[in-house]
Structure 1
Amino acid sequence: MHAFLALCHRPQDEEGPLRCPHPGCPLRAHVICLAEEFLRAEPGQLVPLEGRCPGCRNSLLWGDLISLCNVCPKEEDDYLDLEEDEEGPLRCPHPGCPLRAHVICLAEEFLRAEPGQLVPLEGRCPGCRNSLLWGDLISLCNVCPKEEDDYLDLEEDPKRETEKMLQFTGRSLPVETVDLIIHTSFEEMRKNPMANYTTAGPAHMDHTVSSFTRRGIVGDWKGTFNVAQNQQFDAHYAEKVAGCSLPFRWQL
């Protein structure tokens, strides 16, 4: 989930604090914004590479752009404990460390410090219009709106479910385009000789061995189990989804 990128206008080699000029922007949010922008600026360098800074112990995720830096072990805790309103530069203590390298490295440490929050979430750094990739460690984030869709709902009324997803994503399509999407249903595909080889003659396919396509009916999978197998599956499913609050439809 990415929006337009408009990084705060600050020279990359400028001395001084790496702070968002907008009041109230969390430090971690802005650092991660900067890191994402720096990575996007080097699309050819998105290759895993080991860090080469002698004082660093962590592997870097991205290529030659940050090959000279990582957060030093002796400084790491200090960086992670930075207060949101603390003043001062966020600079690598190693001479010659590129600013881009250190910012990306610092952002990686911030993200790693919140392993339970690796969920896409909209960020709110006012100075950077791009969306942040990672979750709740950014204090000014809003929880993404939640939308659930089920295949059985889609099978029951494909047009309704397609329009619901368009509304959820804030998009609109002409009626003709929606009709084209609906036209890709299983039943419609069966009518297409380019996708369904049941019309091919015996010289090309032996239809007595098995049918090329199944019926494509919701719940048809149940017919592949006998009574005992169905009971075993029900018990296995109940064990695996114990504690799950998500509702699932099993038939129309």
Structure 2
Amino acid sequence: MAVIYGSWFDHVRGWLSMRGKENFLMISYEELHQDIRASVEKISEFLGKKLSPEEFNSVVKNVSFKVMKDNKMSNFSNVPDTILDHNKGQLMRKGIIGDWKHHFTVAQSEAFDKIYQEKMAGLPQGLFPWEP
């Protein structure tokens, strides 16, 4: 199956090949969502940037899903319709962890799990909190 931006599996495997390098930080949406404050701290430490309490609180406030969904600089609403068809849905939907499962039938979910196991074979287990 062809997708507009290429294989998700190839994309993720490419980035995962960077694990262990000092200039690479891997963080999942689930991790961000579960503890945004700890995630901001982790990212600022990785970047070597000490944030003042005011800066830290501003980052935490402005990276919330609601704020980013409403921000034209992050929600792709400024992208022309000739490039992104806005009538087919929004880039940022609900911001709910695992919501994709509500869009798959049982058969699709089982098919995804099988393909995931094949395409991601050889990688350590537990890289993603939603792994089958």
Give the TM-score, by structure 2 length.
0.58
Q: 1:165 to 1:240 in 2, by over 3 A?
A: same
- Residues 1:217 and 2:96 are matched in the alignment: yes
Q: In structure 1, list runs of 5 or more residues that go unmatched.
A: 1-118, 120-142, 197-208
Q: In structure 2, list runs of 5 or more residues that go unmatched.
A: 1-17, 76-86
Larger Rg, first or second structure (1 or 2)? 1
Distance 2:26 2:116 in 1: 21
Q: 1:159 to 1:243 in 2, by over 3 A?
A: same
Query: Residues 198-237 of structure 1: matches in 2 within 5 Å?
Result: 212=90, 214-237=93-116
Query: Residues 88-237 of structure 1: matches in 2 within 5 Å?
Result: 144=22, 147-182=25-60, 183-190=62-69, 192=70, 212=90, 214-237=93-116
- Deviation of 1:184 after TM superposition, in Å, equals 2.5
Listed one character per residue, the Cα deviations across residues 14-41 of structure 1 (whole Å, up to 9, x for unaligned) are xxxxxxxxxxxxxxxxxxxxxxxxxxxx
Distance 2:121 2:40 in 1: 31
Q: Which runs of 4+ in 1 moved over 4 A?
A: 193-196, 209-213
Distance 1:234 1:219 in 2: 14
Listed one character per residue, the Cα deviations across residues 124-145 of structure 1 (whole Å, up to 9, x for unaligned) are xxxxxxxxxxxxxxxxxxx738
- Deviation of 1:226 after TM superposition, in Å, equals 0.4
Structure showing greater relative contact order (alpha-carbon pairs closer than 8 Å, 6 or more residues apart): 2
Distance 1:158 1:184 in 2: 8
| Structure 2 counterpart of 1:151, one-letter code | Y
- Deviation of 1:147 after TM superposition, in Å, equals 4.8
Q: 1:241 to 1:144 in 2, by over 3 A?
A: same
Larger mean Cα displacement after TM superposition, 224-233 or 210-219: 210-219
- The alignment partner of 1:188 has SS state of helix
Distance 2:71 2:31 in 1: 27
- The alignment partner of 1:243 has SS state of coil
Supply the RMSD in Å over aligned alpha carbons.
3.1
Give the TM-score, by structure 1 length.
0.33
Name the counterpart of 2:128: 248
- The alignment partner of 2:67 has SS state of helix
Distance 1:193 1:168 in 2: 26
- The alignment partner of 2:113 has SS state of helix
Percent identity over the alignment is: 34
Distance 2:114 2:72 in 1: 41
Q: 1:179 to 1:222 in 2, by over 3 A?
A: same
Query: Residues 80-91 of structure 1: matches in 2 within 5 Å?
Result: none
| Structure 1 counterpart of 2:58, one-letter code | L
Query: Residues 10-89 of structure 1: matches in 2 within 5 Å?
Result: none
Distance 1:193 1:145 in 2: 29
Q: 1:168 to 1:245 in 2, by over 3 A?
A: same
